[in-house]
Amino acid sequence: MPALERLDVHHAPALLRFERDNRAFFARSVPDRGDDYFAEFDTRHAALLEEQATGRCHFHVLVEDDGSVLGRFNLVDVADGRAELGYRVAERATGRGVAREGVRRVCELARDAYGLRELVASAALANPASLAVLRRTGFVPVGEVLLDGQPGLRHVHDLAA
C-alpha cells in the first residue's frame, strides 16, 4: 500500500499533476475547482501548509513509491476534538480499496496523532462509492445535507468506539 504522508512543500508538483490528471473524473461527483485553482496552485499550496501549521487542518497525500499521488485525505476545521474529513482518489486507483484504506489510516492518525474523538464526513447520494467507503470505515449516517445543491448524507465516526 502506498504511504500516507502529511502534506509538505515537496508534494506540490505531484499533487498538481494528480489534480490535473483527475480533473474531469472528480468533476463527475464534486464541483470542479475551476481554472484559477490550477493557475494559482503554488500560492494555494503554500497557504494550505501555513494553515496546517496552525493545527486547524491536517492535510495528507497517499504517495506511491515513484512519488505520484494516488489520493488526498484531509481533516479540516479541527476544533474541540472534532474535524471534518474530505478525500479524493485518482481514477486509476478506484475499485482497489485505496479510498477505504486511506480513510482508515487517516482515522487512526486523527485519533492517535491528533487526539481527535470524532470525525464528520458528507457524500452525495450520487456518489455511492464514497458512501460505501464511509460506511465500511465506521462512519454512521446522521442526516441529509445539500452538497452544492445536490442531496447527500452526513456521517459521523466516533473514534473512541
Exposed / middle / buried, residue 10 (Cβ in 10 Å: 0-12, 13-18, 19+): exposed
What is residue 1's predicted lDDT score, i.e. its pLDDT? 72
Amino acid at 145: V
The residue-averaged pLDDT of 53-58 equals 96
Asked whether the predicted pLDDT for residue 80 surpasses 90, the reply is: yes
Q: Which numeric CATH code is attached to 3-158? A: 3.40.630.30
Q: What is the pLDDT of residue 29?
A: 79
Tell me, rounded to whole angstroms, the distance of Cα 42 from its chain centroid. Answer: 19
Domain ranges of the chain: 3-158
Task: Return left, alpha or beta for 142; rule: phi > 0 is left, psi -120 to 50 is alpha, else beta.
Answer: alpha
Average pLDDT over the chain reads: 94
pTM: 0.93
Note whether 102 and 62 are within 8 A (CB): yes
